[in-house]
Structure 1
Amino acid sequence: MGRLVYSTLASLDGFIADEDGRFDWAVPSAEVHAAVNARLHGVGTFLLGRRLYEVMRAWDAVDVTGQPAEVVGFARIWRAADKVVYSRTLRSVEEPRTRLERHFEVDGVRRFVAAAGRDVAIGGPDLAAAAFRAAIVDDVVLHVFPVLIGAGTTAFPADVRLDLELVAERRFGDGVVGLEYRRARS
């Protein structure tokens, strides 16, 4: 049985991108990138919103020759996983192992995750918000960067309460803090 994992990089004030959509402040160090890879290694499928897909699809074609081990490692994780893109505006997706869905159906995703032999990662703030609202997110993996950006795209929806238990924490040399939470069971 898989788990639905929301993993993201965020500013200290809870944003994943600034007001202009930039996230250059969140370029992970080799150490942070390796930790993200270690957590995502067990992911068999990525569920993505359109905007995140448009950013991440570059990993299908990037030449990793001569790249650092953490870059090569992430490219391998990404390329080996299936991807489901949720979009009402995209006409098609061309990348390998990728399919397009028009609507995020909570019950279908819940059944898919329950039947999955590996974890399922969900990404993109709107898509993740729908999963949080439906209370189907099992794990939250957050890498907090030591920067305040003041405004932008929030990492979490404002209208959801989800009780979590801290299961892991790690401080990195560049001031980033990695936090892993599991949904609290009543």
Structure 2
Amino acid sequence: MAQLIYSGIMSLDGYTADRDGNFAWSAPDEEVHAFINDLERDVGTYLFGRRMYQVMSVWETMDTSDEPAVIQDYARIWQGADKVVYSTSLDAAATPRTRLERQFLPDAVRNLKSSSDKDISIGGPTIAEHALKAGLVDECRLFITPVAVGGGLRFLPDGLESRLELVDVRRFEAGAVYLRYRCLAQQAE
């Protein structure tokens, strides 16, 4: 049975994007990116909402030939995984190995988890909110960047109550911190 993992880069004050939707401040340095790549190697399927999918789909066509090895590596990892995009506004998926779903159905995700032999990653706080509130997320992996943005799109949704167990911590040279939590119990407000 696969694990459903919610991971993301966030500000110290808990946001994945600021009030203007900007997330340039979250770009990982080479050390953090290499660590993320190693974590992502076990992912067989990515679950995305429309906006996160459109941001991430650049990895399908971006010319990485002049990019550092860590960038080339991530492009290969992303291209090698299946993707499920939840959207009511997209007509079709623009990348290979991608399935379009009109709504997030918790039972369908439970079935995917039970039938998958590789981990499943859920990307983006909007779609992750559905999985978190349905109690489907097995782990949260947070990369905290040493910046405060003062507001915006939160990593965790309002109204979520959850018990977590810290299972791993790592500090990076530039000040970012990785926290890995196992989800024990979740309950929405």
Q: TM-score range by the shorter chain?
A: over 0.9
Aligned twin of 2:181: 181
Matched, 1:50 2:50: yes
Unaligned stretches of 5+ in structure 2? none
Matched residues in 1 for 2:155 and 2:114: separation? 25
Aligned twin of 1:95: 95
4+ runs of 1 displaced by more than 4 Å?
Answer: none
Aligned twin of 1:111: 111
Tell me which amino acid in the other structure corresponds to 2:179: L
* DSSP 3-state at the match of 1:163: strand
TM superposition shift of 1:184: 2.3
> Greater strand share, 1 or 2?
2
Aligned twin of 1:130: 130
Tell me which amino acid in the other structure corresponds to 2:131: A
Aligned twin of 2:67: 67
Percent sequence identity over matched residues?
46
Cα root mean square deviation, aligned: 1.2
Aligned twin of 1:26: 26
TM-score normalised according to structure 2 size: 0.96
Higher mean C-alpha displacement, 40-49 vs 87-96: 87-96
* DSSP 3-state at the match of 2:109: helix
Matched residues in 2 for 1:94 and 1:21: separation? 23
Residues 103-127 of structure 1 show CA distances to partners (whole Å, capped at 9, x for unaligned) of 1000110111121010000012111
TM superposition shift of 1:66: 2.7
Matched residues in 1 for 2:83 and 2:11: separation? 26
- 1:3, 1:114 within 8 Å by CA — same for their partners in 2? no
- 1:10, 1:145 within 8 Å by CA — same for their partners in 2? yes
